[in-house]
Amino acid sequence: MEKLYGYRRPDGKVGIRNHLLIIPASVCASHVAQNIANAVNGAVAIPNQQGCCELGPDFDVTHRVLVGFGKNPNVGAVLVVGLGCEGISTRQVAEEIAESGKRVEYLIIQENEGTINTEAKGIKLAREMASQLSLMQKEEIDISDIMLAVECGGSDTTSGLAANPAAGYVSDRVVELGGTVVLSETTEFIGAEHLLAERAVSQEVADDIIRIVRDVENKAKSIGVDLREGQPTPGNIQGGLTTIEEKSLGCIFKAGTSPIQGVKEYAEIIDGKGLYIMDTPGQDIESITGMLAGGATVVIFTTGRGTPTGSPIAPVIKVIGNSENYKKMKDNIDINAGTIVEGKETVADVGERIFKEMLEVINGKFTKAEALNHREFGIYKLSSTF
Amino acid sequence: MLKLAVVTHERDNVATAVRDLKKGQVVLMDIQGKGQVEVSLKEDIPFGHKFAIQEIKENQELIKYGEVIGHATLDIAVGAYVHVHNVVSERGRGDLEVGK
């Protein structure tokens, strides 16, 4: 296998990118954070709608996501920007991220005369931080240092026949080689949870898997709705997927066949090796956001219809199972796995191609989403703001 | 030989078209570990969509990947199109809980 290079962080974790992350503590600081990032090479922002007037669990989730993104090893340094009166404490977010040993600065808009002066100060600070980051050298790393997140979106029936099994081949390789893989999208375990539970390393983990699926199903039932209104989506149905069970059974292939080590809450940091499950919604952006907050450094995103989305801090490798749609969505898709459906390649052939592509991406190759600045970011919410 | 449809598991009672298939077309498929099955299509089946490879009775479970994907709301003949018009999910049905 070719040699891999990445950034070893002070806390021992390993990143494959070296972003300067500008974190707005709330919606009120998002515009200023974005403007600072726009002015500085190497900086990315995570503008969002949250951070204020959130209750209990939603507040905790937002806090965990912001801190988790700051701690993610693909981030080399962090500037947190707050308005000053929001629910999320700018200073606390900065302090918790600083536990990782990386450089963290913060700025409060209400203490800096407002937008113009905060942006000016922020740009000066960020410019200097970006220069410092640019001096960091990559060092040799091992595949076992990698945390791979697997995601699927814009599915059709080819997802379960081609793209997900091929991604599953890569998941199994990463686990065999000592790395970590994260499977998410609890809604898309419905109808397949018994197969995942059978692979749990303990009864406790098996119970956790069944519990998170029951909770999401009960949530749909408690508001008196038919889950079928949202899942499968109209596009899924047009693509040939009939029920959530069929979609789920195809979805779980992307995590391969390894034992399941544990179930993590949304955006909870993952420290172990092997395959983990994170409890996230099926919505792609919120799901990927949760897994990156948990420490994932590279994403394999399977699809049947094609989707353009990426991430602010991690490369997202798009794999499509449908050759016809590959032609229609070429701008956004890195690998065509449709050859499996056509009988031209095996799952292992395509899995090997994705694995090789992932190694190149780890070493710095831009995915299509990265090259096109796709930086979608979204925090999962349980209830409304108040 | 050009593959026209796939059966994902020996227990499956549906197959997935991997080409646009036409009514009357005869489709020969490999079934893992169980040889082959030949089905004459009763309807057009678009790429990625499913058809029955066995007689399926109303309320009977539909099997793909060797697992239950829902149940039939009508009798489904061999070679007939299988989708949301004759199959429903058994999961997350809050609509069925209302008034219970």
Question: Quick check: B91 and A190 CB within 8 A?
Answer: yes
Q: Is A221 on the interface with B (CB under 8 A)?
A: yes
B2 touches chain A (CB under 8 A): yes
- Taking a C-beta distance cutoff of 8 angstroms, is the pair A65, A289 a contact? yes
Beginning with the edge strand found earlier in the chain, give each strand of the sheet holding B87-88 in spatial order: B61-64, B67-72, B87-88
Residue B99 above 70 pLDDT? no
The pLDDT value recorded for residue B32 is 77
Q: Is B85 on the interface with A (CB under 8 A)?
A: no
Partners of A244 on chain B (C-beta within 8 Å) are 89, 91-92
Domain boundaries, chain B: 5-97
From residue A363, alpha-carbon distances to A2, A3, A309, A367, A370 in Å are 10, 9, 21, 11, 14
CATH class assigned to A19-135 = alpha beta
Dist CA A315 CA A19 (whole Å): 12
Contact residues on chain A for B67, CB-CB shorter than 8 A: 191-192, 195, 245, 249
Tens-digit pLDDT profile for chain A (386 aa)? 789 999 999 999 999 999 999 999 999 999 999 999 999 999 999 999 999 898 888 999 999 999 999 999 999 999 999 999 999 999 999 999 999 999 999 999 999 999 999 999 999 999 999 999 999 999 999 999 999 999 999 888 899 999 999 999 999 999 999 999 999 999 999 999 999 999 999 999 999 999 999 998 888 778 777 776 677 889 889 989 999 999 999 999 999 999 999 999 999 999 999 999 999 998 999 999 999 999 999 999 999 999 999 999 999 999 999 999 999 999 999 999 999 999 899 999 999 999 999 999 999 999 999 999 999 999 998 888 88
Cβ A192 vs Cβ A367: under 8 Å = no
**Whether B48 and A192 lie within 8 Å, measured CB to CB:** no
Select from A64, A80, A71 the least CA-distant residue to A129: A80
pLDDT (0 to 100) of residue A227: 72
Tokens representing A344 are: 């031209």
Q: At what angle do helices A90-98 and A56-71 cross, to 10 degrees?
A: 40
Nearest-Cα residue of chain A relative to residue B4: A342
Q: Would you say residue B92 has pLDDT above 90?
A: no
Cβ of A304 and B82 within 8 Å?
no
B27 close to A (CB below 8 A): no
Strand partners, A316: A299
pLDDT in tens, B34-79: 789 999 999 999 999 999 999 999 999 999 999 999 999 999 999 9
For A66, A99, A180, A313, the CA distances from A96, given in Å and listed in that order, are 10, 5, 24, 19
Residue A25 has φ and ψ, to the nearest 5°, of: -70, -20
Q: Which amino acid is at A363?
A: N
On whether the CB atoms of residues A169 and A257 are closer than 8 A, the answer is no
Cα A60 to chain centroid distance, Å, stands at 18
Helix, strand, or coil (residue A137): coil
Whether A188 and A336 have beta carbons less than 8 Å apart is answered as no
Assign B97 a pLDDT band (cuts: 50, 70, 90): low
Distances (CA, A) of B83 to A155, A359, A362, B55, B73: 16, 39, 41, 15, 11
- Which CATH architecture fits B5-97? Roll (2.30)
